[in-house]
Amino acid sequence: MVISELLRAFGAQHRLQIHLQPGGIESVRPLTGSAALHYRLGEFGVEIEFRPTDFIQVNSVLNRLMVSQALALLEPASNDVVLDLFCGLGNFTLPLARRAGCVVGIEGDSGLLDASSRTRRANEIANVEFHVANLEAVDPDLPWTQRPYDRVLLDPPRAGARGALPLVARSGAQRVVHVSCHPGSLARDAGILVHELGFNLRSAGSWTCSRTPATWNPSQSLGAESAMNRCSRRWEVRVSLGPLMIDVRGQELDATDRELLRHPSVGGLLLFSRNYASPEQVEASYRGRACPARSPSLSPSTTKGDACSAFARRSLGLPPRAVLGHQYDLDADAGMELARLCGWLLAAQSCGLSGST
């Protein structure tokens, strides 16, 4: 009871809606009565409603940049018919409808499409239609697959859009934009589009968000043009492409992980705390299996971001970073020495895990 009251007070102080999840995903409920959650894409006059359990891009600044740039790459005309695959809540679909003649959004999760349909009506957008379909194995007899499209936007989950790419090739689209959350599956899909399906790569880049304007580096999105549209465009990759470092979901490699790791564009594997159970498990699961075509120096395993301290605690027995700060508050010299020793141990053991020099 005391915890609930503290959470209510915290929510009121910081103007937050707090939801609790005592069990499975179906148990999520608001701590207090809550208004609908929504975010706004002001450039396109669109407001999108969502639930706490829905997938959204949580960085609103980055999401606005991403949607704006994706539409700039796609360049829909006012009479174009656009196909948005893996459309979710309509994050790209509804802004596209403000620019194109008609947009068809396809999603495998019927719950998300129910929400996107409500949002379409709330935004008074009439030139959008939504359909539920399995995009990992598209049924070619579905009516929406029989239509020609001028543009296609892909925004798949981390496994990529491989199952939908033959449909993209048959659609007649003159331009395709692929937005990805996983550089490994993006590299694979790009290879299929260019080398097997006759598209030309126009540009590639990634979104990063900081206090300065967004910067662009390769590996997170691409624009491709159909070979039928052979105007005098040059490749516009901003910097040279180096080996990609990718992550995997669990503590063992599944078939999709192995396929991605064999791709020639992938140079190594990032390990997070979710990938670690013991040194023996890391050795058995990953040693010699990451990027077998590359030398060990190009296939390190490492940690990244906020998961680093958790990984280090579990694998090396290092203390949480808060302990280092507390020690520094008590004795600055002792705190600095403890931090130095922890850093030395982490570096030494990481070299042992990575197999790199």
Convert the pLDDT of each residue in 291-334 to its tens digit: 544 443 333 344 444 445 555 555 566 777 788 888 888 888 88
Of 18-27, 74-83, 98-107, 118-127, the range with the lowest mean pLDDT is 18-27
334 vs 187, 312, 347, 355, CA distance in Å?
Answer: 47, 21, 20, 32
Check whether 215 has a pLDDT greater than 60: no
- Residue 87 annotated to the active site: no
Strand pairing partners for 270? 247, 302
Q: Which residue type is seen at 147?
A: R
List, in sequence order, every residue forming a beta bridge with 177; answer none if it has no partner: 153, 223
Question: Residue 87: what pLDDT?
Answer: 93
The one catalytic residue in 181, 209, 231, 351 is: 181
**In whole angstroms, what is the distance from residue 282 CA to residue 352 CA?**
11
Q: 94-133 burial, b for 16+ CB within 10 Å, e for fewer?
A: bbbbbbbebbbbbbbbeebbebbeebbeebebeebebeeb
Return all residues near 333 (Cβ < 8 A) that are at least 6 apart: none
| pLDDT surpasses 50 at 355 | no
Q: Distance between CA 129 and CA 149 in Å, rounded?
A: 14
DSSP letters along 272-316, please? Answer: -GGG-S-HHHHHHHHTTTSSTTS-GGG--EE--TTHHHHHHHHHH
Three-state secondary structure string covering 110-171: HHHHHHHHHHHHHCCCCCEEEEECCCCCCCCCCHHHHCCCCEEEECCCCCCCHHHHHHHHHC
Of the candidates 91, 22, 35, which has an alpha carbon nearest to the alpha carbon of residue 58? 91
Q: What is the residue-averaged pLDDT of the chain? A: 78
Contacts of 130 (CB under 8 A, 6+ apart): 87, 90, 93, 104, 105, 106, 107, 113, 116, 117, 120
| Mean pLDDT, range 159-184, rounded to an integer | 91
Determine the pLDDT at residue 239.
39
Bridge partner list, 105: 84, 130
Band of residue 112 on the pLDDT scale cut at 50, 70, 90: confident
Q: Give the model's pLDDT for residue 220.
A: 46
DSSP state of 175: E
Spell out the domains of the chain, with CATH numbers in brackets. 1-35 (no CATH), 38-226 (3.40.50.150), 244-354 (no CATH)
In Å, what is the CA distance from 20 to each residue of 10, 33, 37, 244, 297? Answer: 14, 12, 15, 38, 45
pLDDT digits (tens, 9 = 90+) for 14-68: 888 888 888 888 888 888 876 678 899 999 999 998 888 888 888 888 899 899 9
Q: Which residue has the higher pLDDT, 286 or 73?
A: 73
Q: Are 12 and 89 in contact (CB under 8 A)?
A: no
